[in-house]
A and B are shown apart, each in its own frame.
Chain A
Amino acid sequence: MTISTARPDEVLRLEDVHMHFTSRRGPFGKPKTVKAVDGVSLHIDRGETLGLVGESGCGKSTLVRTILGLHTATSGRIYLDGWDLLRMPKPERRRARPRMQVVFQDPYTALDPRMTIHDLVAEPLRINGRYSGARVDELLDQVGFTREMAKRKPAEFSGGQRQRVGIARSLALNPDLLILDEPVSALDVSIQAQVINLLGDLQKEHRLAYLFIAHDLSVVRHLSDRVAVMYAGKLVEEGAVDDVFDRPQHVYTRTLLAAVPRPDPHLRPALT
């Protein structure tokens, strides 16, 4: 097993990760390769948020699936807490997996409607033989759910509350890394801020590393320490959040930032 020579605070490290898909058109067709992820390198430290932005089809989701091991990377290295995930024996990889967890975009489809809130949060603990009622109560308390509320089912709660259940679930196994895949984009504006603040509090409390994927650039700016901009499978720009937003270097980043409508009617572009 290979352990990277990472700094002790480093949670996730990607080195030149490629994920190519090959398809063939018809029995005699030429194989065609799509380089969905084309040489991505990045790292995230404990207590740090890396924002990942890019338009649909740029390879963000494929990158996430590759980190999670849902795709097997074509080449490159992925280290989690120093463990080389792609070259680890399977049983050990299984043990490393709970250290990263995902919070999904849509809290309406991510929770089983037939389970109670308590059972939803207990599920990851039960699977790993670590269930205790007190632990579930503690997790739910962190996201603002009482024991009374935990007896009910997801349908009785709003989108923001359901997303908090998703967050409690993801924290159950004490992960080091949370992958947040558009965690607030399905929520209403007045609710988004509640979840964003909760994510910020939890990060401070547990020194969590976040990989934060979002298309809403103001949310990314608010939650991230560093930002990586992805375009056509590659990271075209990466840097501290203020540098990227205030002094974008790559032409694509500039286009992206210029396209965001500013919430101030005094700043309208002149009509052409």
Chain B
Amino acid sequence: MAQQPLLKVEDLVVEFDSTSGPVRAVDGVSFEVHEEEVFCIVGESGSGKSVTMLAVMGLLPENARIAGGSITFRGRDMASLTVSELNAIRGRDVAMVFQDPMTSLNPVRRVGWQIDEMLRIHRKDLSRTQRADRVHELLRSVGVADVEEKARAFPHQWSGGMRQRAMIAMAMAHSPALLVADEPTTALDVTVQAEIMKVLAEVRRENRTSMILITHDLGLVAQVADRIVVMYSGRVAEQGDVFDIFDRPSHPYTAGLLASVLGESSKADRAYAIPGNPPSPQNRPPGCAFSARCALAQGRDMCTGSVPVPVQLATGHSAACHFAHEATASNSALLAVSDGSVR
């Protein structure tokens, strides 16, 4: 893909104010999202994956700010835009679906009215009846039956899965080039999750939309991702295409994460657990943030001495580990010796 990337995030730093000075929640994150691809951001809570996307959307809370780096959407620097320029992009070219459809919808407005709001704001050229037709069409496209009746219902009359469909309909109102979905199915049952992922795939194909999927569910990632970035403690640990990451994980954290997926293991097997706990952004250790939990780092000064830069392993595949080349040699060496016991 030689063309210009749709979204380019370069060396992004996001800081939060705290009583003990600024805290770096995102610390030098870079990645590119291309046209019509599914890009997954994987990480645990506190890894900075959601904050990164809030920064891209210009939705950071008041006590946070972009302290470095750049965000470029279709060649335009997002940070240099005025609020009204930003508002013309948000909801139109870039749309977002959040985790919890219960709290994202207004409980006292009819669902149809809320979808129509997208059209009222961005499509002043449409008449009332044209908008109503478009609302019904959007609802049909996300698999809702009896659209005229359903559009008149209130959110509490819809199930969780149906509400997430409404959120997707809203996000797709202007056929955005980029859809950001932050844990869109985490609150849903697994059967409903499968339906929602199918709806997302359909609307994406129809509208030729790229998607950034933020999730911690590696099963979901394996099923839908084209490319993946793995985040740990506010930094990028590894990025590559889905087969690079799953077949040749080259950062010890990625390897540990994949090893701890239970899959079809049974009671007789011991679950692999990465020893220790992830550091909070306030207490990020010097050097590599993963060093304290890492098998490759044990006793090596370099790991605690300097922050690793991404090592290029193949086209588009890189790992931020001083010993990434060692890591590719043998996967078992990546896993810290731990039976997961805490005693």
Contact = CB atoms under 8 A, between A and B. Distances in A.
Nearest to A191: B277
A262 B189 contact: no
B124 interface: no
Nearest to A224: B267
Contact of B342 (A143, A189, A200): A143
B20 interface: no
A193 B257 CA distance: 10
Q: How large is the interface on A (under 10, 10 to 19, 20 to 34, 35 or more residues)?
A: 35 or more
A223 B45 CA distance: 24
Interface in B309-343: 339-343
B100 to A, nearest CB: 14
Dominant secondary structure of chain B at its interface with chain A = loop
Given A264-B246, A265-B246, A221 B222 contact: no
B227 to A, nearest CB: 11
Contact of B343 (A144, A200, A245, A258): A144
Given A161-B277, A197-B341, A263 B189 contact: no
Interface in A222-254: 222-225, 241-242, 245
A259 B222 contact: no
A241 B261 contact: no
A161 B192 CA distance: 31
Interface residues of B, number: 48
10 contacts: A55-B192, A161-B277, A200-B267, A221-B262, A224-B267, A225-B267, A261-B197, A263-B218, A263-B221, A264-B246
A218 B266 CA distance: 9
B89 interface: no
Contact of B44 (A49, A190, A271): A190
A112 interface: no
B263 A263 contact: yes
Interface string B71-109: 000000000000000000000000000000000000000
Contact of B264 (A160, A218, A256): A218
A160 B277 contact: yes
